[in-house]
Amino acid sequence: MRLLKVATCNLNQWAMDFDCNLKNIKESIVRAKDAGAVIRLGPELEITGYGCEDHFLELDTVNHAWECLKELLVGDWTDGILCSFGMPVIKGSERYNCQIICMNRKIIMIRPKMWLANDGNYRELRWFTAWKQRDQLVDFQLPNEIAETLSQESAPFGYGYIQFLDTAVAAEVCEELFTPIPPHAELALNGVEVFMNANGSHHQLRKLDIRLRAFIGATHTRGGVYMYSNHQGCDGGRLYYDGCASVAINGDLVAQGSQFSLKDVEVVIAQIDLDAVASLRGSISSFQEQASCKTRVPFVEARYSLCQSFNLKTCLSSPLKIKYHSPEEEIAFGPGCWLWDYLRRSGASGFLLPLSGGADSSSVAAIVGCMCQLVVKEIANGDEQVKADAIRIGQYKDGQYPTDSEEFAKRIFYTVFMGSENSSEATKSRAKVLADEIGSWHLDVPIDGVVSALLSLFQTVTGKRPKYKVDGGSNVENLGLQNIQARIRMVLAFMFASLLPWVHNKPGFYLVLGSSNVDEALRGYFTKYDCSAADINPIGSISKQDLRAFLRWAATHLSYASLADIEAAPPTAELEPIRSNYSQLDEVDMGMTYQELSVYGRMRKIFRCGPISMFKNLCYRWGTKLTPREVAEKVKHFFKYYSINRHKMTVLTPSYHAESYSPEDNRFDLRQFLYNARWPFQFRKIDDLVRELDGDRVHLGDSSDQDKLVDISHGAGGMGVVAAGSGNPNVGL
């Protein structure tokens, strides 16, 4: 038997914080050594942090990475253990995303990434070059200071593997696993038995299975040991890296780390028998045949042995059942952990949330409550770093620390119900009950006096006072009155966030939390610069349907029973007066349901559908319930308001990324924000298709009406075009 003990890591790195990152790396090596591991794998670009973005273009970033690597190699950190460290490297005129593979204070090999992640949230081609030479390893001249310190002038650089005396080891970096022809395929044919994959993979709802199946499948038909490492936490941006460091052998998962955790360092250990790999490969005829005519991959010889022989004191790792979280748990734990990292690293003293008693803001409140529960639980489990952060943020003294989540919430979480004459007693009551369940410091702040003062000022200047539509006002008046309330709440939220700590003799400031969901952002169903404009938004890319399921789950599993009543209530903005014959409802205002919005969003982004493609697809999907004409009207209605409101994405509050159809403009969904909202060419084509399908030669609507425009300037800094006759209360604002 060839027994091999390996260690892979979840590390909570912080982009550009080299002290923090180096501390975590050292801690992971200590734990790996203490467990007896002879291979230690860390996440991609772990020395700098993965999310440095344009900081990768700075020479300082690369130089600091070498300085940190030097510290690791000068000490005894790599003695007796093979370590793979991720960092940027400049070779000649090119900058590469590399794994530096080290052992016994020497650099054995530098492995540049060959296939870069360059879609969705990733822009690696902006900062790095892909390594294209696959047939040879080249000499890389080490920086002078490194060379002198290590007494090593150069190191092999390129694509290849390391041949030890008793096994062969290779790196496969993140995106390379997911390419059509992944490197591990030919590496396995060349005899590589251990694959080290350093990752920078972010959380997305329902995504984990894709990732796990990829590397488990990599070893199913080819054999081998696959080590997977990842970042875990918020490293400075919208993404939460969700860990799940794992080890697989021959198609079985034998070790799996946590997906969501407040720990800065988590090391996952596995003990495996490499003879099982050789046995499987020897039993597959097709593997033998393909290996006999393989393309040769260059390698580096390392005159070390990594394996131990048969030893009854050593237990082999057994296959595990994969641990998955439900989507509801993902919504609770992912944003909850992200908020904790943001809070402790931002210097803020807590959070402030405008709590309306509706589903969205209540979801955010529940996530903060979940965060408080996680903090208390982790402290009880002995995590000293979480304890130190909680003592500092919560201003505990005389050896005290959080032992109760509600008491901790009272110290770090303000909720504010900013009601108007249009607010119902039901929502006010629901907000208060939920705040009490979570433990937040709750305030009831009437805003009618402020609204009235603004309207009086307007009347003094113009001689006119606007009225709501239900009271005989026009659409323009109705919209203006709603937007005043929404924007006043934003101003008040930031005022309370900055001044309430001062009132309570607390240092610092509070972060304002937003609470608009992904569907409303897609449709533009919010006022520009209203109380959705905040510092950060934990639910900004989560759909309404998922949030409602989360509320039902949280009512039981987080013990916030009032969430069940909140989920059951119909969604409403409560910006218009309630009358016996009228009550404002979100889906009526939008002219579409939240379920429909999820469909539109996925088709627009995930399946890359324009108006014509979406119409055709929805004719198949909805054809049993709707006529082609009805489908056409729905598609045109969506694209009209999507394009009118696209400009709002430019000021969207930075949101936790959780959904692949997020319309977030700044990093993920790169499209223009000034559209011809009539879509004349596309809508005409849809009309033609409808006539063909229906046999109806009557033109859909009066084109002369569609060509009329009203108001091309909406709200503060708004832009877009609005078709005549539009009565939606949140159009373009």
- Judge whether residue 696 has pLDDT over 60: no
Q: What is the pLDDT of residue 705?
A: 40
Instruction: Read off the pTM.
Output: 0.90
pLDDT tens digit sequence for 700-721: 444 434 333 333 233 333 333 3
Pairing mode, strands 194-198 and 168-171: parallel
Q: What is the pLDDT of residue 674?
A: 87
> Could you tell me if 558 and 534 are in contact, meaning their C-beta atoms sit under 8 angstroms apart?
no
For 608, residues 6+ apart whose C-beta sits below 8 A from its C-beta are: none
Residue 174 falls in the annotated catalytic set: yes
Query: What is the helix (H) or strand (E) element at residue 252, kind and residue range?
Result: strand 252-256
What is the Cα–Cα distance from 510 to 416, expressed in whole angstroms? 13
Q: Which of 5, 9, 44, 634 is catalytic?
A: 44
> What angle separates helix 425-438 from helix 359-380, to the nearest 10 degrees?
10
DSSP E strand stretches across 257-334: 265-273, 299-301
Half-sphere exposure of 730 (CA within 13 A, CB side): 33
CA dihedral defined by 210, 211, 212, 214, rounded to 10 degrees?
A: 80
Q: Which residue has the higher pLDDT, 521 or 372?
A: 372
> Rg (Cα) of the chain, in Å, rounded?
29
pLDDT tens digit sequence for 563-573: 999 999 888 87
Task: Identify the three-state secondary structure at position 81.
Answer: coil
Q: Which of 20, 68, 102, 174 is catalytic?
A: 174
Q: What is the pLDDT of residue 601?
A: 92
Q: What is the pLDDT of residue 526?
A: 87
Task: Identify the three-state secondary structure at position 716.
Answer: coil
pLDDT tens digit sequence for 396-415: 999 999 999 999 999 999 99
For 613, residues 6+ apart whose C-beta sits below 8 A from its C-beta are: 603, 607
Q: Give the CA angle between residues 417, 333, 529 to the nearest 5°.
A: 40
Half-sphere exposure of 617 (CA within 13 A, CB side): 14
Q: Please give the mean pLDDT across all residues of the chain.
A: 91
Residue 356 falls in the annotated catalytic set: yes
Lowest mean per-residue pLDDT among 21-25, 191-195, 196-200, 644-648: 644-648
Task: Identify the three-state secondary structure at position 540.
Answer: coil
* DSSP alpha helix (H) spans, 474-585: 475-503, 518-523, 544-557, 562-568
Residue 283 falls in the annotated catalytic set: no
What is the Cα–Cα distance from 441 to 671, expressed in whole angstroms? 40
Q: Which of 5, 113, 263, 636 is catalytic?
A: 113
Residue 551: which of 361, 337, 335, 339 has the closest Cα?
361
CATH number of 328-446+496-573: 3.40.50.620
Q: What is the pLDDT of residue 720?
A: 36
DSSP E strand stretches across 359-474: 413-417, 441-444
For 474, residues 6+ apart whose C-beta sits below 8 A from its C-beta are: none
Q: Which CATH architecture fits 3-324? A: 4-Layer Sandwich (3.60)
Q: Which token pair is 640?
A: 């009209």
Q: Which token pair is 291?
A: 């290996």
pLDDT tens digit sequence for 249-307: 999 999 999 999 999 999 999 999 999 999 999 999 999 999 999 999 999 999 999 99
The residues spanned by each domain of the chain are: 3-324, 328-446+496-573, 591-698
Q: Which of 317, 356, 423, 440 is catalytic?
A: 356
What is the Cα–Cα distance from 703 to 471, expressed in whole angstroms? 32
What is the Cα–Cα distance from 157 to 129, expressed in whole angstroms? 14
What is the Cα–Cα distance from 644 to 315, expressed in whole angstroms? 63
- Judge whether residue 732 has pLDDT over 70: no
Q: Give the CA angle between residues 45, 269, 195 to the nearest 5°.
A: 55
Residues making up the chain, counted from first to last: 733
Pairing mode, strands 299-301 and 161-163: parallel
Q: What is the pLDDT of residue 580?
A: 65
pLDDT tens digit sequence for 466-518: 999 989 999 999 999 999 999 999 999 999 999 999 999 998 899 999 999 99
Q: How far apart are the first and last CA of the chain?
A: 69
> What angle separates helix 359-380 from helix 384-394, to the nearest 10 degrees?
120
What φ, ψ does residue 575 adopt, rounded to 5°?
-110, -5
What is the Cα–Cα distance from 660 to 583, expressed in whole angstroms? 33
